[in-house]
Amino acid sequence: MAGKVLVTGGSGYIASFIIRQLVAEGWQVNTTIRNLAREAEVRAALDVPADKLTFFAADLTSDAGWADAVAGCSHVEHIASPLPTGRIRHEDELIVPARDGALRALKFAKAAGVKRVVMTSSVAAIAYGHGRKIGKYTEADWTNINGPEVHAYAKSKTIAERAARDWMAAEGGEMEYCSVNPAAVLGPVLSADFSGSIEIITRLVSGALPGLPNFGFGVVDVRDVADLHVKALTAPNMNGERFIASGPFMMMKDVAAVLRARLGADARKVPTRGLPDFVLRTAALFDPTLKMVTGELGKVRETPADHARAVLGWTPRPAEQTLVDSARSVIDHGVVKL
């Protein structure tokens, strides 16, 4: 089945691959960006037929443009959510637009007669705030936003998803809702504008990290995250569902080992030694990106995607392929200069 679908945040990393797959499968796509001055740039990166994709100006913090963007759509992929790109003065800079944007997407979707909304959440809404618990987390788990060392991004994703589910229970009516909760999204990039998670790879390949911090993350390919979103858009019995999108949990030393083994001379700057925790904590005082991971030191958060595999037949590609494709892509796009 294909019809017309709204994908919010069309300039974003995950949204870009979702749009590509939807168009390839015959959907007519509407998408939102905050400023239409970027339309030509985003179109060029997406490289899909012009008559299959229509842009609308809309922002998470305002009602303007939403009704037009969702008009005539039977489905919505709500992907847009703020990402920390630098030092934030207050956690509400992420929490408020994430929560209000999710509610805005749902309200306008219902008003337009949309059948189903698939929303991008995160494992950050599942596996955080539980102290030093080591083990597996499933879709039944929720981040404790009042727990130790829970950063603003994890709070924003948790609060936004909970708000969306509460709204659906009270106001959703016959409209359906489900969420996709990815781990660290890596893979190829379409341009030099990509998700902050790719910083993990750029810093390793460029030699920006003097050593390997003692932390890790679940690895998932952006192409597989897009595929899971598209599967969830039309599969039966999706209302209320929640799907973790993740491959194996890998420590930085394991990621570095894959890059060194598979990239040859292009991995010459990838560090080989560990980085003491105190060095990373000190560096994080001056680098907001690093500050987000200081709470992860020494922790293992496994988030297996057994549910997505069983219900949707989702099969992610090997993590090693994702890591290598990420590195090759940032080198090819000139993001990393060797």
Residues known to be catalytic: 157
Please, which residues have CB within 8 angstroms of residue 158's CB and are 6 or more apart in sequence?
124, 125, 128, 142, 143, 145
Answer for the pair 78, 103: CB distance below 8 angstroms, yes or no: no
DSSP assignments along 8-54, one per residue? S-TTSHHHHHHHHHHHHTT-EEEEEES-GGGHHHHHHHH---GGGEE
Q: What are phi and psi of 186, to 5 degrees?
A: -125, -175
CA distance 128 to 130: 6
Helix axes 252-263, 199-206, angle to 10 degrees: 60
Q: Which of 174, 195, 178 is nearest to 231 (CA)?
A: 178
Answer for the pair 266, 338: CB distance below 8 angstroms, yes or no: yes
Query: Cα 245–317–83 angle (5° rounding)?
Result: 40
CA distance 150 to 138: 18
